[in-house]
Structure 1
Amino acid sequence: MSKGGLFLALVLMLAACAPHQSRVPRGAEDWPVNKRVQRLPPAQPLPPPKPQWVAREVTPDAVEVPAQTYVVRPGDTLRRISDRLGASSEAIARANNIPPPFIIRVGERLSIPGGRYHRVKSGETGIAIARAYGVSWSKVVDGNALEEPYVLRVGQKLLLPSARQVAAMSLEDRARAFTIDIGDLITGGEPAAEESAATAPRPATPDQGPVVAPSSFAGTFDWPARGTILSRYGAKPGGRFNDGINIRAAAGSPVRAAADGVIAYAGDTLPGFGNLILIKHGGNWVTAYAHADALLVGRGQIVKRGDVIARAGQTGSVDEPQVHFEIREGRKPLDPLTLLPKSG
């Protein structure tokens, strides 16, 4: 055998005798031997958004009721008197200082307040009713002494400004009547409840009835997004006021629920806020999340703290991706930085 052939045979023999080594992927040289790599399952998205409930169009068919005096008859109740004369039972009770449980006596003389009364129908909202008559929702709230949670009931009669009062409004007042904000959505955006729901609320559904808030609230909030603060709560130049905080966020990054709750609103009704979500948390607490690029939840959907409800974006009147975040107790906005963890 030649020297070249002897050298090749020696190389092949040494290679056959060498111990077998498994191929190690690049970048995995430090993996423990014979130990399986644990991979975390992908984050589970929330269920697809439910269909959005659509507000019913309101026909302005209010009835003019003259101011008068009525003497209570046997078998009368405030509701029966209301049905007979057209004025709302609540207005009659207020005019005559009748407290709950609204007991009246035969022969009692009642003052019946006159005015224009609209009977609430199924699917109507406070905002839609106010717009149908060209007045602001806040004026309807004040005129009827409505209180939280501001849920109207089917068959309820609302006292509205007269046609003469509306005609006398300035152009500025008329424009303001059609301008709504987050507080209006919270208090006037719910569809009227059926009579039975007034005493026994049922679970919320996206296409009927008002959203029912959780019965309790844990009392703490988490940050909805991570980033630097672009704008804090409070007065701003030009007479503006920020009812929350604005957090810089990368476009498409997750926006998370600050606490357990139910989605009360998801849409783009308020142009300046772009895509907006409102969550009811119980105890009269509400959080708002605005300027989203995509909404991942729908009205009536139950969410837990930390659930991804939207993707951050630049919708509405902002010039960079961000999350506008508010915490409200009823209609009243509070400074979120006093209620959020300090390590945000």
Structure 2
Amino acid sequence: MQQIPPFDRPRSRIGKLCLTGAALAILSACTEPFDLDMRDVTNGFDTTAALSTAANRPRPDDRGIISYPNYQVVVAQRDDTVQSIAARLGLDANTLAAYNGIAPDVALRRDEIIALPSRVAEPSPATGSATTGPIQPAPEVSVTTLASDAIDRAEGTAPSSQSGVEPIRHQVTRGETAYSIARVYNVDVNALAEWNGLTGDLAVREGQFLLIPPAGTVGTVAAPVVDTAAPGTGSIAPIPPSAAAPLPEETTPPVASSTPEEEPESVAPDLGSQQSAPAASSAAMVTPAQGSIIREYARGRNDGIDIGAAAGSPVKAAAAGTVAAITTDTAGIQIVVIRHPDNLLTVYTHVTNLTVARDTNVSRGQVIGEVLPGDPSFLHFEVRRGTDSVDPAEFLP
């Protein structure tokens, strides 16, 4: 198995400042996050995606600590070594290095995971964390709960506690690769790389600890899942005429009379104002965003639909109702819940520039915000009857 050399070799201070200055000069023209770290730029691996999607991993405190009930890890900062981490946490550098299968003075990659052999002080506001203590599993909260009076926080308020699934912590053994580990745990290899600060060649070392991203985490925007039938299935080959019944006899149409009767002059019906009016839709709801469906409803896997729509395009209330909740998930994505008659709820995520507030009454088709920019940009839309998700196609035109 390939041994990982130190990746962040000393670079010229002048050259580094020049690169940073050039990056800052064009930063204002960029619409995507810019990778000022410039790590591994020589091998053609763009870490922009890693810096943006690493937000799916819990945010460490100022020391770099991510704390779970059963273990703690440190996310390496720029120019970190095991020695600098040990000094920061008051640990023995040799013990920490041996535990992670690396020498104490080897330069670590930014975002590389270093596992702690014993627990240190828990994250708290004093260490730059929004909460105190380890990350606990999130309680099961239905959209109905979100829409109830139990959700009182206003838009933009930080979550009261940090929660999430404790990932598996895997220690690399001889012969393993990032690909083989990703296959064992059935996770996206790009997500594995981003969660653990791996370089473009995805090299890992024996003894290294990796956090296994929760199921469903992807390193890049996943393409919609399409069920593709095997070749030849789902179609019926026509039977050759010679292999079955004889060809039907030809029938000759009657010859038209040589003296056709005079036909009355054709008069177009008078449609009046209805001639150009579109037919009224009988659907219970209107489509909340203009675009095509890029991900279909799949109960248990995708409890709604994803509508590919241009960033900044309007998002409309699918039906008349009352805004029951406006909140955000742990990644800061806004969630809007609208309550409708007959125990129905509609849910809208990836929305920005909201034009409504909680307890606002909205009409069918009223603009409530805009589609959040993304790659691709899309609106996630759900319809729920009580706590159960239902296929939005039953309600949309």
Does the TM-score normalized on the shorter chain lie above 0.5?
no
* Smaller-chain TM-score bracket: 0.3 to 0.5
- Bigger Rg over Cα: 1
Flag the structure with more relative contact order, 1 or 2, with Cα contacts below 8 A and sequence separation at least 6: 1
**TM (normalized to structure 2)?**
0.31
**TM (normalized to structure 1)?**
0.36
